[in-house]
Amino acid sequence: MRFGPEILSRCDALAAISEDPGRLTRTYLTPQHRAAGELIAAWMRAAGMEAHFDALGNVVGRYVAADPQAPVLVTGSHMDSVVDAGRYDGIFGILSPIACVADLQARGRRLPYTLEVVAFGDEEGVRFGVSMLGSRALAGSFDMSALERRDANGVSMREALVAFGGDPATIPALARDGVVAYVEAHIEQGPVLLDAGLPVGVVTSIAGGTRLAVRVEGSAGHAGTVPMPRRQDALAAAAEMVLAIERHCAERADTLVGTVGKLAVAGGGAINVIPGAAEFTVDLRSGDDARRRAALADVEAECRAIAARRRVALAWEPFFELAAAPCDARLQAQWAAAVAAHGVAVRHLPSGAGHDAMEFAKLAPIAMLFVRCGNGGVSHSPRETLDPEDAEIATGVFLRFLEHFDPASLSA
Ligand SMILES: [Zn+2]
C-alpha cells in the first residue's frame, strides 16, 4: 500500500496532540491547535507545498501550478475536534490530499491549476459555540460579531485569536476569489457505506441545519409545600417539549433529524426545589431546506402550546442556520469516474452531517467523497475507526480525481 499506513500513522500522531489526558479533544486557538497545525504544515512542506498559518489559524498549503495565474482548486477539512473525539473526522480530508501531492511531487507532475489544501482551525464550534469559522472566512461569510463570543472561561474569540498570533482585522481579506471548485474527502460518520460493503461513496448533498436555544421560565418553589396542580415546573415542561420534538422528527425520519443535545435546570437545580427555569438546545437537519423550515415552525408551535398549557414562558431563539448544499453534478460525475476506475461500484449518498464544503457552496461548485467508517459507522467518539485499505482506496481515488480534474470542465 502506498498511502493507507502512513495516513493512519499520521492520524495517530495528531490524535496524541490533545487538551485532555487520555482522550482526544482539540479545540480552536489552543496550544494543541498550534501544535497540530505545525505538524500538518511540516507534512505539507515535505510533500512539496508552501504552507502557512493564516490570520484565523487555518493552515493553508499550496501546490502551485506552473502558471501562477491558473485557477485554484481548494480542498481540505478541519483539524479541530469534538470533546472525546475520534481521530479520523476532519483529519482524513487533510492528510489524504497531502499524500496525493507528495505522490505528484515525487513524479515531477504539476497540475494545470493550483491546489490548496486547507486545515481549518475550527469546524466543530466546540469552544465558541459557532461552527465552520475557518471555511466561512475563506468563503467570505465570516460574521465578525463572532469575535465577541466567549468560551467557558470567559475568554473572547478576539482575545484568543490575538494570543494565538492571528489577526482579527485581516479576516475579511481571507475571502477567496478565483476558486474554481471546492472538494472534500471525509469519513462518512454513518453506517451506509459499511452496510453496502463499499469503501467510498460520492456525496449528493449536505444537509442544512438550524440550531436554537430554548429557555423555559416557570416558577421555583418548595418541593414539599406547593401542591402539584399549582406548579409551574420548568423542567417538566422542557421534558415534554423534548419528547414532542423527538416525535415530530421521528414521524418524518426520511427527510428530517432532530436532537436535543443539552438540557439543564438553570442554576444547576436542587433536589428539594421545583425547577424555576430550564434551558435546552435543538439541532434540526434536513437535506431539504423547505422541510426543515416547516419542521422548525411546527415544533415551535407545539412547544408554545405545551408552554401555554403548563403556564410557563418560552424564549425560542434560533442562533445558527445553514442552508443545505447540493453537490455539483459535474464534480459528482468526476468523483464517480475516479471511483469506477478503481473497480469500486459507485454509490451516491447524502451527508447528514455538516462539513466545511457547505460554506464554499456560496462561492464555487462543491463535491465530496465519503470514506467508510468501521465499527458500525460510529463517529465523534474514540470508537471511530478507519481501515488502512479504505484510506488507500480513497486516496487513490482522490489522486485520480486530481490528475483528471480540468478547471475548464466547470466553465462550460
Ligand atoms: Zn468532520
Task: Report CA(355)–ligand 1 centroid distance (Å).
Answer: 6
Per-residue confidence band for 322, with pLDDT thresholds at 50, 70 and 90: confident
- Neighbour count for residue 272 (Cβ, 10 Å): 7
Task: Report CA(143)–ligand 1 centroid distance (Å).
Answer: 21
Please tell me the predicted confidence (pLDDT) of residue 255.
84
Task: Report CA(163)–ligand 1 centroid distance (Å).
Answer: 26
Task: Report CA(370)–ligand 1 centroid distance (Å).
Answer: 11
Task: Report CA(42)–ligand 1 centroid distance (Å).
Answer: 22
Please tell me the predicted confidence (pLDDT) of residue 364.
95
Chain segment 382-396, per-residue pLDDT in tens: 999 999 999 999 999
121 φ/ψ angles, rounded to the nearest 5 degrees: -70, -35
Task: Report CA(186)–ligand 1 centroid distance (Å).
Answer: 7
Residues of the chain above pLDDT 90, percent: 93
Per-residue pLDDT at 127 exceeds 80: yes
Amino acid at 402: L
Chain segment 262-281, per-residue pLDDT in tens: 999 999 999 999 999 999 99
DSSP 52-114: EE-TTS-EEEEE--SSTTS-EEEEEEE----TT--SSTTHHHHHHHHHHHHHHHHTT---SSE
Query: What's the grid cell of residue 200?
Result: 467510498
Task: Report CA(344)–ligand 1 centroid distance (Å).
Answer: 24
DSSP β-bridge partners for residue 232: 219
Per-residue confidence band for 287, with pLDDT thresholds at 50, 70 and 90: confident
Task: Report CA(328)–ligand 1 centroid distance (Å).
Answer: 20
Task: Report CA(269)–ligand 1 centroid distance (Å).
Answer: 34
Q: Which bin fits 85, alpha (ψ -120 to 50), beta or left (φ > 0)?
A: beta
Cα(41)–Cα(60) distance, integer angstroms: 8
Cα(50)–Cα(65) distance, integer angstroms: 12
Task: Report CA(208)–ligand 1 centroid distance (Å).
Answer: 15
Task: Report CA(304)–ligand 1 centroid distance (Å).
Answer: 34
Cα(408)–Cα(412) distance, integer angstroms: 7
- Residue 219 per-residue DSSP state: B
* Residue recorded with cell 486530481: 402
Task: Report CA(49)–ligand 1 centroid distance (Å).
Answer: 23
Task: Report CA(298)–ligand 1 centroid distance (Å).
Answer: 30
Please tell me the predicted confidence (pLDDT) of residue 62.
98
Cα(364)–Cα(327) distance, integer angstroms: 10
Task: Report CA(213)–ligand 1 centroid distance (Å).
Answer: 23
Please tell me the predicted confidence (pLDDT) of residue 412.
61
Per-residue pLDDT at 356 exceeds 90: yes
351 φ/ψ angles, rounded to the nearest 5 degrees: -105, 120
Q: Name the pTM for this structure.
A: 0.83
Task: Report CA(93)–ligand 1 centroid distance (Å).
Answer: 9
Task: Report CA(110)–ligand 1 centroid distance (Å).
Answer: 29
Q: What is the mean pLDDT of residues 21-44?
A: 98
Task: Report CA(185)–ligand 1 centroid distance (Å).
Answer: 10
Strands 59-63 and 313-322: unpaired
Task: Report CA(169)–ligand 1 centroid distance (Å).
Answer: 27
Task: Report CA(90)–ligand 1 centroid distance (Å).
Answer: 4
Residue 325 Cα distances to 77, 209, 239, 350, angstroms: 16, 11, 32, 10
Task: Report CA(165)–ligand 1 centroid distance (Å).
Answer: 25
Please tell me the predicted confidence (pLDDT) of residue 388.
97
Residue 400 Cα distances to 104, 152, 182, 404, angstroms: 11, 44, 16, 6
Task: Report CA(393)–ligand 1 centroid distance (Å).
Answer: 19
Contact 49, 62 (CB under 8 A): yes
Task: Report CA(101)–ligand 1 centroid distance (Å).
Answer: 21
Task: Report CA(79)–ligand 1 centroid distance (Å).
Answer: 9
Contact 40, 78 (CB under 8 A): no
Per-residue confidence band for 164, with pLDDT thresholds at 50, 70 and 90: very high
- Residue 328 per-residue DSSP state: P
Per-residue confidence band for 227, with pLDDT thresholds at 50, 70 and 90: very high
Task: Report CA(230)–ligand 1 centroid distance (Å).
Answer: 47
Contact 307, 277 (CB under 8 A): no
Residues, CB within 5 angstroms of ligand 1 (ion): 89-90
DSSP β-bridge partners for residue 183: 75, 367
Per-residue confidence band for 156, with pLDDT thresholds at 50, 70 and 90: very high
Mean pLDDT, the chain, whole residue set: 96
89 φ/ψ angles, rounded to the nearest 5 degrees: -60, 120
Residue 168 Cα distances to 75, 123, 157, angstroms: 24, 18, 9
Please tell me the predicted confidence (pLDDT) of residue 106.
98
Q: Three-state DSSP class for 372?
A: coil
Rounded to 10°, the helix 4-15/388-404 angle is 110
Residues ≥6 apart with Cβ < 8 Å to 216 = 234, 235, 237, 238, 241, 277, 278, 279, 280, 307, 312, 313, 314
Task: Report CA(32)–ligand 1 centroid distance (Å).
Answer: 17
Q: What is the mean pLDDT of residues 198-212?
A: 95
103 φ/ψ angles, rounded to the nearest 5 degrees: -70, -45
Cα(32)–Cα(83) distance, integer angstroms: 13
Q: Three-state DSSP class for 87?
A: coil
Q: Three-state DSSP class for 325?
A: strand
153: buried, middle or exposed (CB in 10 Å: 19+, 13-18, 0-12)?
A: exposed
Cα(84)–Cα(78) distance, integer angstroms: 16
CA R_g for the chain:
23
Residue 396 Cα distances to 65, 321, 344, 368, 391, angstroms: 21, 35, 12, 15, 8
Per-residue confidence band for 178, with pLDDT thresholds at 50, 70 and 90: confident
Task: Report CA(281)–ligand 1 centroid distance (Å).
Answer: 21
Q: Which of 246, 297, 236 has the alpha carbon at shortest distance from 269?
A: 236
